[in-house]
Each structure stands twice: as C-alpha cells, then as structure tokens.
Amino acid sequence: MLKIILLLLLFLVATLKYAPQLASDVPLLPQTRSFPLPPIPLIPQLPSPSASLQNISSWLLSSLPNIENLNDGIQQVLSTRNHPSNNFQMMTYEEEHEEQDQQQLTVLDDDDYQEVVDDRSTLKNDFCRSPQCVISASKMDYLIDWKVDPCENFYNFACGSFIRDSTLHDRRDSLNVFTMTDDKLKDQLRRLFTRKIVDDEIEPYKMVKRLFTSCMDVDDADKRGVEPFRKLIDAVGGWPMLDGDWDEKAWDLEDSIMKLREYVGQNNFRQIFQLRKFIQIPWLGIIKSQDKLTNELNEVINNDTSKTEIIFKAYKSYLIDTATIVGANPNKISRDIDDAVEFQRDLILLNSRYESSPLDNSFALFQNENYINYAVTQWLDIFQPLPLLAKIKGNEKKLNARAFFAAFEELMTKTSKRTLANYFVLRILVFSSRYMTSELKKRSLVYRMELLGVKQKEELWKQCVDIVSNSMQLAAESLFSQEYFNLESKQTAIDIAMRVKSEFDRKLNNEYSWMDIGERLKIFTKMNEIILKLRFPKELLSDSQVNFFYRTVSNKLEKYFESILKLTVFNTERRFLILQSGLSSDYSESAGVLNYADTSSFNKILFPAGILQKEVLSPESPLYLNFPTSGFLIGYIFAQNFEIFQQSHLPSNVSSQIDCLIRQYDSYKDLETGIKNNGRNTLQGNIADNGSLKAVYTAYKKWILENGREKSLPALKFSNEQFFWISFAQLFCSISRPEKIKNLNEINSNSFEQFRVIGALSNSRDFANDFKCKRDSLMNPSTKCNI
C-alpha cells in the first residue's frame, strides 16, 4: 500500500515538473470543495509502473472523487518521512490557533496599531481539501529541502530540492517558474497559429497564421538565400566590405540613417527605453542613452580584461563568419571588422560613462520649450526615431545631457565614414540573421553556445512563436485572449492589486511626504494606469479595433524577410504615435504574451490574461499562496515607479537606507560561480523587491482582519503566514547555467534569484517573527535595511 501511495505522490510531483507538456492533454481539475459521491477505493485500477504520464493522469483523475482518502494517503506518506519541522520551531496549526484564542493579532509593518481578530469560527485541523490545495501542498513539499534550517538560508530551505533534483536540457540556459510558464504559453500560441485560416476571421488573424507558416518554411528561406538582405543594404547606402567600388565621398551619414529608419525602423544609436504620460503635460517621452547592443558586449563595462577580450574575440569571429556567408571576402575584411567593433566598444564606454547619473543620461522632449545647444542641434534629426510620423517640432524640444552629446560628437568626428557604414550594416546583419538562411541561424547558435553554454538550438516552432508574437503583438494577444481568457483569474488579480495599491497609496501619503507633490502625483497616476491595464484592454477582444490597428500593413505582407522589416517599422511608428496622439496606453505594452522568464526583463511585465495562469495565480488556491506571487509581482511594478534614488533631495534617513541596501546586496556572492552580486546596479530592483514584499504582506494581513483566516494546506505543519513566505520564495526557485549567470551579472537590473529572496526576507521583521528566527541568525540580522 505504501508503494501505491508513493506512486500517487510521485505523479503529483511530476504534474508540477511537466505541467507545460501535460497542460493540453490533462483536463482541468474540477473546482469544488466537497465530493458527495459514494466512497470508492483509493486505487480503482493501478496502472503498470511503465505506464505513460497520460495514463497515470487518467487513473489519478478517476480517483479524485474520494479526495479525503487521497489526503489521508499523502498524510501517511509524509508521516513516514523525516520532516524535522519541529527542530526549526515552526508553529503547528494547533499552536497557531491556541495563540489566536487570545483574539489578539499584531500586524507588523512598522505601524503602531493592533487589530482584534475574531477567529472562533475556525476549527482546528480544518484543512483545505480541494484538488488544488492537495496539489499545492505536494508541490511545496517537493521543492523544500527539509535538511536546511529556514532561519539560516531560507532560499535553500524553500528551493533546495528543486535545485538539487532539476536538470537543464541542452536547449535551456535556465529553469524556473517563469520559463515553465513561458513554455506553456508558447505551446498555447502555437496551437492558435497553426489553426487553419477561415474566411470569416479578420485579416490580422490571417496575417499572424501566414507569418508563422512562412517562418517555419526553412526550405523557402534557404532557396531565397541572402539576396533579400543584399537588396536592403543597397537601399540604405551600400556596404564597404562587400562593394569593391563603394564611394566614401558619396556616402552621407544623415541620409543613411534616414533610410535605415525608413526600411528597418532603427538608427543603431539609440532605442526607445520608456514611454510615459503624465498629467501635467500632454506627452512626455524618455529615451535612454544606452545603445541597444548585444547584451554580451556590455561586459566591457566590467574591468575583467581577460573576460572582455574573450567576448570580443567570439563576437568578431561571429561577424566575420556571417559577413562571409552573405558574400564578403574573409581574407579582406579583418581590418574593417576590427575598426567597426572598436567603434562599438567606444560607443558602449561612452554610454556607460554617462549612465551613472539617470538625470543626465537621458533627454526629455517637452512642449513649449526650446533648449538646444551646439552638438545637440546637429544630432537632433539623427536621434529622432521617426522622420515620417513623429516629427519633433521646434517648440517641443528639450535635451538634457549636454556632456553626452559633446562626447558623442567627438567620437563621430574622429570615426571614418567607412567604419560608420560598416558598423551600420553589421548591426543590421546581426538583426537580420535570425530571419534568413539555415546557415546564418546555425552560426548564431554557435555564438550563443560560446557565451551561454546552450548546447542545442531552441526548437524552430518556439523561435517562430516568439517572432510572430513580438512582430504582431496585438493580433497575437487578441487571439490568445479570446481562447484562454480567464475571468475568475483576472478578478482575483484585480482584487489583490487593489489591496496592494492601497498600501502604496498609504506610503505615499504618510511615509513619502518629503517627496515633491508633483512626483507623488505621477506615481499615483502610473499606478492607476497599471490597474487599468490589469483590467484588460477592451481593444483585445474587439475585431474592429484589431483590424483598425493593422490597417496600414494588412495588404503589404508577402515574403517572410520583407514582412519582418515592414512590421518592425510599423511597430516603431506605433510607439511614437502613442506618444504623440494620446492613444490608449493599453496599446503600448504587452497584454497577453509572457516575456519575463529572465529577471532581466522582469520589470516589463503587466499581468494581463497570458500571465494569469496557475503557475503564478490560481483562484482555487488560498490567498496566502496568491498574494506573495501575483501580488508581489504587481507590487514590484508599483514600486518600480517610485525611483527614490533618482530624487534630487533625499532626507538623510532615506539616503542612509539606500546606502544600507547597496552594502547589503554587495555582500552577497554566488558560491557556484564566485560572482559577487552588484548592489549598486541592482538598487532599483532591490528597492522594488523590499517595498513590494512589505506592502503585499501588510495587504494580506488586512485581508485576514476583514475576512477571517483561510483553511491551511493539508499534510504540512506550517501556519498560513509561513505558507505565505514559502510561496514567495518558491516563486524564485531557479537553476541557470554558469555562463548565463556570468553574462547577466553586469547588465541585470535585479539581483540573482537567491539574493532577491534572502535580501528581502532578512529585512523583514514579520518573516523573522513568523518563523521564530533567533536574533542575529542569518535570516534575522540585527541591522535591517528599511526603505
């Protein structure tokens, strides 16, 4: 019998681990709290040990009506294991409710208030017995390493078994909740993109399906070869490395940049960093000075010369090989490649030099101001992304960062036209390689393997899902939302978000009174916009809106490579039309496709339909599991808008706490790679982590005061508050290849996953109290950074 029960538990574990693969094959568990069916045997018909997961799944589902026996089985299995929970002084369910009999609960958020909780209706041993709760308990148990003291290293406690038992297949450089959710979403999108085109569906949906089909057509791409790329290069001014008769005198920098924007939607110098709309002015765009370079090359900021040279050597080799594939002579281009890469290196160094002051390294475009000087005026048209649709008028210009423009002009003056032309084309080649021949794609894989340790390329269909969903974002998201939209998940997320927002509102009114009223108003406005986006833009469910949005490109997409170029230009135009015309800001962000698998892109997520999946949020789960996952992620976005360290005048106590956070996160070191965490580079993310977690915990405790305590998960002897902290930590359970960790170290705006958990929790008095951690234990230091 014990073996049978262990097999049952193993399946529940496998369900977690292989959820993306099984999602489409296994029917959803019923949402129910009781099962009035007559008792049936726990194991109606045991499948053979070699049975497939699908067969085991069907067998389990036939057993689910007798859920109480299932719960008893799990309890029996867990009782046979050596769970040293009492050694950690964890509060059992009975102990927790004995304290509650006193009807007094302290809410620890540095607020001097106490609330009375009437919890007399809650019975001892009143566990949640729904299928989702049983699965959640099994998942939590599977991830935990019971040999680790939670007060010494909570990340290893919450995630230790996951880290020890998980493996990366050859196509992965990391594995975590976000990558697993991303896999599931990609599979859902693939199913949508491969459906047969029907006559009565709108044209954008047909375009999405055609684009995916052409992306998958490798034979056609190889047949066309590099000719589409060479035509593009001829149109933008030629390529010295390829054209023996290239005329340097006839080549004009400004004309070449204008053509690049027209044909490719890029200028290869600057990128849109963030679009914001504030109440005080009709529109405001902030464009960051950071060049959109390959992430690997940003390692040059690091002073590790040997690492930098290795990266640049691999990069140069990649450029030589790809240039050779499209027709350049490998014996004659080495010097040109060296000069172009050296210019790119100088550009990175220039950008990083002015990156240290956020108020100086960006320029803002305001109405009714004319503030242009020397080099700024000369480069205005070059930096303006869209000459056709988003002309910057003379009375709408204000450019800060004079020093940057002066240095930039100096760099451009000393660089030859030949080097600039080669740099432009090489950047286009890097961009275009993934849309051309198999040979170019294979060479890109080799380059990625050298830097990230990935051993096999990602499946073609996954690449094509990414390309299509990024190129035709609104249409793909509209398709997704109509098929997978979950109203109950959305409402749960909105309810949580509103409670978390109320905590940030309170902080702005009380704790941030020192901040300028205009700045606080901007933060209020931005948080309200996020709530509106979370409510889900109606445009995504309207065929007429989607049709109208793509009206200018609906009849222009034919061949794959050319379609990608046209859509790139279209999407760039779209961003600036939003900025200037005041269209719904819902258009400006992703609304259905998950793109936050890496923490480097974590701050871009918005919580629309695509992210409301059970890996992050489940309306069937207790809120002590949902608040610290979806609630934390929403709170993180709220906290990102505070930008405390960018304020010109900080109170001394705030300034000292910022220094405290920098020192704290600087002290962390990854034992596997020996890489130290960068507390200064990750400051904004660390502030957001700490602020969000604090607000979310307070919001949940207030929910308890209003609604009473929830039933606990079965089998595990934790209080609901302890479940809260474990759920938060397990959101970040992750394994990554050492190469990826090294590569992200200097460019990541967030700390490594383990330090995000340890850092935020060691600053929380609530966590220390809930787990009864002794003073000066590693997770409960005497000195805490509080911001």
Task: Summarize pLDDT for 342-364 with one digit per residue, the tens.
Answer: 988 888 777 666 554 333 333 33
The residue among 243, 595, 251, 634 whose CA lies nearest residue 416 is 251
Residue 302 has pLDDT above 70, yes or no: no
Please count the helices (runs of H) and the strands (runs of E) in the chain.
Answer: 32, 9
The one-letter amino acid code at 167 reads: T
Compute and round to an integer the Cα radius of gyration of the chain: 28
The residue among 402, 358, 351, 356 whose CA lies nearest residue 379 is 402
Lowest mean pLDDT among 47-56, 290-299, 565-574, 721-730: 47-56
What pLDDT shows up at residue 727? 96
What pLDDT shows up at residue 166? 86
What is the tens place of the pLDDT at every residue in 124-151?
457 888 888 999 999 999 999 999 999 9
What pLDDT shows up at residue 218? 94
Average pLDDT, the chain: 71
Stretch 596-615: mean pLDDT, rounded?
Answer: 43
Distance CA 74, CA 70 (A): 6
The residue among 7, 124, 125, 129 whose CA lies nearest residue 77 is 7
Residue 81 has pLDDT above 60, yes or no: no
Judged by DSSP in three states, 612 sits in coil
Please state, for a pLDDT cut of 70, what percent of the chain lies above it.
Answer: 63
Q: What is the pTM of this model?
A: 0.71
Distance CA 579, CA 585 (A): 9
Cβ neighbours of residue 732 closer than 8 Å, sequence gap 6 or more? 155, 159, 176, 177, 753, 754, 756, 757
What pLDDT shows up at residue 353? 66
Residue 47 has pLDDT above 50, yes or no: no
Residue 554 has pLDDT above 90, yes or no: no
Residue 230 has pLDDT above 90, yes or no: yes
Stretch 409-432: mean pLDDT, rounded?
Answer: 89
The one-letter amino acid code at 104 reads: Q
What pLDDT shows up at residue 108? 32
Please state, for a pLDDT cut of 90, what percent of the chain lies above it.
Answer: 31
How crowded is the C-beta side of 315, counted as CA atoms within 13 Å? Answer: 24
Give whole-number Cα distances, 212 to 216, 472, 564, 724, in Å.
6, 10, 11, 41
Give whole-number Cα distances, 497 to 37, 108, 483, 508, 756, in Å.
38, 20, 24, 16, 21
Lowest mean pLDDT among 306-310, 609-613, 750-754: 609-613
What pLDDT shows up at residue 745? 63
The residue among 741, 745, 600 whose CA lies nearest residue 678 is 745
Q: Which carries the bigger pLDDT value, residue 233 or residue 307? A: 233
Q: DSSP string of 52-105?
A: -HHHHHHHHHHHTTSHHHHHHHHHHHHHHS--GGGGGTPPPHHHHHHHHTT--E
Distance CA 156, CA 392 (A): 53
DSSP code for 629: I
What is the tens place of the pLDDT at every residue in 489-498?
778 888 999 9
What pLDDT shows up at residue 307? 63
pLDDT band with cut points at 50, 70 and 90 for residue 69: very low
Domains observed in the chain: 82-225+474-537+584-787 (3.40.390.10), 228-435 (1.10.1380.10)
Give whole-number Cα distances, 539 to 288, 363, 757, in Å.
29, 32, 37
Judged by DSSP in three states, 439 sits in helix
Tokens of 754: 């383990």
What pLDDT shows up at residue 280? 29
Residue 314 has pLDDT above 60, yes or no: yes
Look at the block and give the residue holding tokens 């002897």: 717
Judged by DSSP in three states, 231 sits in helix
Distance CA 739, CA 480 (A): 34
What pLDDT shows up at residue 442? 87
Lowest mean pLDDT among 533-542, 577-586, 605-614: 577-586
Contact 753, 732 (CB under 8 A): yes
Distance CA 723, CA 713 (A): 8
What pLDDT shows up at residue 577? 62
Give whole-number Cα distances, 542 to 219, 478, 538, 549, 589, in Å.
36, 8, 7, 11, 17
Stretch 426-434: mean pLDDT, rounded?
Answer: 90
Residue 599 has pLDDT above 90, yes or no: no
Q: Which carries the bigger pLDDT value, residue 142 or residue 557? A: 142
